[in-house]
Structures are given as structure tokens and as C-alpha cells.
Structure 1
């Protein structure tokens, strides 16, 4: 039975907590965080504390806080024997001060109230000690069938790629929703298209899957689209993305 302590009370901390509660072989012995109200979320199933100087002993300490607070929180664990890990995609392993350190990064978007299935989520692990790496692999395996050993430099680039496919794409969904609402249309009309676009890249590359006016250099359609846009930021985005798509496929045009 692996004993773990979760440090943090945000979205990721709550999702990890829920996942580990369901896992055989894992005992969440404590949750530590500064927000007393948020700590009450963990009241029913485990001990909790807002005192970082009274952290219980565990095999793994999962720091699930904002990136700029990782080092500060890790300092409270300098006298612990367990593995101290952070859960950030963009932060180097060296942000953790204790020597027995690692990374436990679930590659997924986490939103309050939205349940996710951890079994298919890629969990990227890293550690300097072989024994620690195997412990993290075992811990990740309790909740996911998709575990990968990825170093800090690889993980930073992976996190950047994730921003493009998730954060930027979601923003574009928002732009599309605005355009629909301007005409009294439901955004639901676009959802089958969104799902099909995502489904295609399961079997072919994004470059192969690319379609649309810019892909076929349809200047007339692109000009017409620009005339329909009133927001300067949307016009800039349309031009920038169309040009990027054209350049990516210029040899085929």
C-alpha cells in the first residue's frame, strides 16, 4: 500500500484525490492546503490540514499547486524520506528542493465539476533515482494505463504542444460561439464538426486532415469571411491562421 499526501486544494488536487480514493493499493493519508474552505472538500475520506509544518509521513508527496509556489511548498518537505513530486507540465524537476524528487504530470485539462476518466490519461513521470522512478510508475499505474517516462525538457515541449491543442483551440471555440450568437444560432450546430475533426487525428496526421478555404487557397471565400468579421482581434486571427495554413501546404497548392 503506497501512502501519499496531496499538497494543494485546486482542480488537479481534487481530481487526483478522487482518482486515488478509487484505487486499490493507494492510501491518501492527508491533504494539506492553505484554503480552509476548499479543504472541507476532503473532509469525508481523509485527514486534512492547513499547517504545512505538520505534514504526515508518506511514500509520495504530490505537490499540486500553482507553478510559482512549487519551490516554496517543497521546502516544507526537506526532512521527509518519501518522494517529493510536482504535477506541473511547464516546471523543471529542479524546482523541488529535496533530493528525492520527481514529477507526476497528468496530461489532461481539469475543470471544476467535470469528471474525467484517469484510466486513459497519459501520466508523465520523472525521477533522478531509479527506485523512485519505479515507485512513481507503480503509483501512476494504479490509476492509468498510459504511463510514460519523460524528462523535463521533453515535458516542457509537450506542455507547449498541449497549450496549442487545448487552450488555443478552446479559445477559437469561444470565437465561433460568439459568431453563432450574433446570428441567433446555436453553437450546438458546430459540435458534430468539432467531434469529427478531433476523431480524424486519431487515424491520420493533422496535416493530412487539414481542410478549408486556406488549405485550398480559396481567396474569394477568405475575402468574404473577412468582410463578415467586425472584431479586430478576430480579423487578425483569421488572417494569421489562414496564412500559416497556406504556407504549410504551399507545395500542394
Structure 2
């Protein structure tokens, strides 16, 4: 784990929300001593995150209005309404979305505090390695959010709405779509070979390592990369429905890329 600096104990931060991102952020902020508490529309859910961290937690009606930063870690379409519930505060209000402009927060001191990672409640994440992308309504807000993020992670940078939207789009391909393809592979292995996905662990690790170290495009292997139409046809004969279409589309895209 990378060692990151400690935040000033005077900075008091509220996490608003009770989902996976909120839970991980709350833990990280508690470790550096600036978590004032966790609040959400469902007070019981917020309390379940706050209690193990020994901080206050509850419903939005209990939210203090004198904190330094309010981090909204809620669904994208709920950001405006939750911001409205907070009401007028002197502190910074920032959301954690990769796809929503900070301007949905109709207030003077607003920003974005976006951690680029996949979060699950049952998984431990080393937040010191998670990239954070920061935006603020002015230089002071940006600097404050940047300094807060640097207390959690060693990988922090500024990014406006367009850059964050691009990062989020690319992350869907790199993470969500890739995981779905693993799920397809897992199902095929289980049903037709009696194996689990762990038989692919060395393959998956090496594929990722090559993509990061050498570049994903030039690291591409497989029948489509080498133009092996005979093998592709054999594979397609064993597939039907959407999986057949997925195989065809991805294979064609790989072949197109190799021709460029």
C-alpha cells in the first residue's frame, strides 16, 4: 500500500449515500481522520456504514449544516434532489459521478470527487492506488478537493466533465464489458467442460499485464488477430443467439483493427 499524507484534523467531511462507493469512501476518509459521518435518505443504511467507523450516521434530516465538505455518493439521477435536500451550506458540495457535470449542483462552491474504480461491498480496495479525478467551481474549491483526495490516494489529477465522460465510457469497455465476457466464458466452461473460471487465472493475468505494459492493440492474439477464418467458423457453429452475434462482432472488429 502506498503511504499517503494525513489530512488536517480540522477538515470535516460528510459522506452522503449508503451504496458501495459511499462505503469505501467513508472507510478511506475515516482512516485519515476527517470523516464527520455518513448520512443518506435511508438512515438505517447510513448507520450501518457509520457504526463500525465510530462516527455519526443517520437520515438526511440529521445532517449537520456546518461541515467543510459534503460528498454526494448517490445515483446520478438523484444528485440534484439530494443536493437540494442539503440546502444552503458554506461548505463545498461535490458528487462522485464520472458522467454528470458539477453544474447540476446549483450552488456557488461545488465540485466533483470521482474515484475511477469498480466497488463492491464485499471487496477490500486499496484506495491509495485508486485514481481520483477532481473538478471545482473555482481554484480554491479545486485545491481543497485535490488536497483531500491526496490524503486518500497517490494518484490524483484534475479533469473536466468531457474528460470524465470519456474515462467513464472507456471504463465500461475495460471493466463492465470485459467482466460480462468473462461471465460468458465462465458459463461455457461450467456447462461444457465442467471447469470454473479459475482455470483461466494465468491467462487473464497475463492478458492484462501485456495490455498495460505493451498496449492492448499490439498485444491482441487469437484466431481473429491472425485471420484464422476456419477456427472462427468452428467456434460460431457452437454458438447461437446473442453469443454468436457477440463473437462475430468482436472478431470482425479485431480483424478491422489489424488491417489498419
TM-score if structure 1 supplies the norm length?
Answer: 0.94
Q: Separation in 2 of the partners of 1:37 and 1:217?
A: 56
Structure 2 residue 150 is matched with structure 1 residue 141 = yes
Q: What's the Cα RMSD here? A: 1.3
Q: Match of 2:187?
A: 178
Q: Aligned-pair distance for 1:54?
A: 4.0
Q: Match of 2:19?
A: 10
Structure 2 residue 46 is matched with structure 1 residue 39 = yes
Structure 2 residue 234 is matched with structure 1 residue 227 = no
Matched-pair contact (CA < 8 Å) for 1:77–1:98? no
Q: Separation in 2 of the partners of 1:46 and 1:79?
A: 23
SS of 2:217's equivalent? Answer: helix
Matched residue count: 248
Matched-pair contact (CA < 8 Å) for 2:224–2:252? yes
Q: Match of 1:115?
A: 124
SS of 1:142's equivalent? Answer: helix
Counterpart among 200, 225, 230 of residue 215 in structure 1: 225
Q: Match of 2:3?
A: none
Matched-pair contact (CA < 8 Å) for 2:44–2:59? no
Q: Match of 2:34?
A: 27
Matched-pair contact (CA < 8 Å) for 2:43–2:57? no
Q: Residues 92-171 of structure 1: matches in 2 within 5 Å?
A: 92-171=101-180
Please list every run of 5 or more consecutive structure 2 residues that lacks an aligned counterpart in the other structure.
Answer: 1-8
Matched-pair contact (CA < 8 Å) for 2:189–2:196? yes
Matched-pair contact (CA < 8 Å) for 1:5–1:56? no
Q: Residues 60-99 of structure 1: matches in 2 within 5 Å?
A: 60-99=69-108
SS of 1:30's equivalent? Answer: strand
TM-score if structure 2 supplies the norm length?
Answer: 0.92
Please list every run of 5 or more consecutive structure 1 residues that lacks an aligned counterpart in the other structure.
Answer: none
